Chain A
């Protein structure tokens, strides 16, 4: 059974820092990996989708990488801002899992002004 782990569970950084969020998964047979942002009491906003054949995806200050063979993905946030404060979730779509996304527990990020 696919398991997804995100480390750290919580992170607090001063504004302007570059930071890396980590996601690991136990089964490397995946179709894709998706990063989401969730604000308190809100739904999930899709940030980046990386197909299994890709190594990375970029959107603005965000860069996500995927190393399928080692079961790891990172989300890099450049020049962090207080508005980046949220919970970040990664989810994988595993081969044979139908359309089921398996989610990690999330990293709660606080960017202090």
Chain B
């Protein structure tokens, strides 16, 4: 049982390039989340999904797109990377909503945009 995994672990992009971050979970969780963590700003929710085929915006969704084609995977895309998107990105999942169930986090992806 690997829990929540993320690929890649590190990435350096140039401004304007695109990339996709992959999150996978093997706990059969319905809900999945993407956060970014910045010094002095804490963790902030980018997008989340309440089930296969669904997505919803979080606190800081601009510049990102997401897809949940399979229950176990949640993809975060950057179409045209900007230096302001330099951050550490965390994926999380929970059995159902955060109303009652704890969120489990992946190890993170450290992204630098130059």
Closest to A42 in B: B107
Pick the most buried of A34, A43, A46, A105: most chain B CB atoms within 10 A of its CB.
Answer: A43
Q: Are A32 and B42 in contact (CB under 8 A)?
A: no
- For B83-105 the 0/1 string (1 means CB < 8 A from A) is 00000001010100111111111
**Are B42 and A103 within 8 A (Cβ)?**
yes
Docked complex Cα distance between A40 and B50 (Å): 30
Cβ of A76 under 8 Å from chain B: no
The reply to whether A99 and B106 contact each other, CB–CB distance below 8 Å, is no
Residues of A within 8 A of B (CB): 4, 31-32, 34, 36, 41-46, 49, 51, 89, 91, 93, 98-101, 103-106
A-B contacts, 29 of them at CB < 8 A, read A4-B42, A31-B100, A32-B98, A32-B99, A34-B103, A36-B105, A43-B4, A43-B90, A43-B105, A43-B106, A44-B43, A45-B105, A46-B103, A46-B104, A49-B101, A51-B100, A89-B42, A91-B43, A93-B98, A99-B33, A99-B50, A99-B97, A99-B98, A99-B99, A100-B98, A101-B98, A101-B103, A103-B44, A105-B42
Chain A contact residues, majority secondary structure: strand
